[in-house]
Amino acid sequence: MGLTPLWVSLLGAATLTGLFFGAAVVGPIADRIGRRQIFAWDMLIFAVLSLRSSSLKRRPSC
pTM to 2 decimal places: 0.59
Q: What one-character-per-residue DSSP string does 41-54 give?
A: HHHHHHHHHHHHHH
In degrees rounded to 5, what are phi and psi of residue 44?
-65, -45
The confidence score (pLDDT) of residue 55 equals 84
Domain boundaries, the chain: 9-54
The confidence score (pLDDT) of residue 62 equals 59
Of 16, 39, 44, the closest CA to residue 26 belongs to: 39
Q: What does the pLDDT average to over 34-60?
A: 88
pLDDT category at 2 given cuts 50, 70, 90 is confident
The confidence score (pLDDT) of residue 1 equals 67
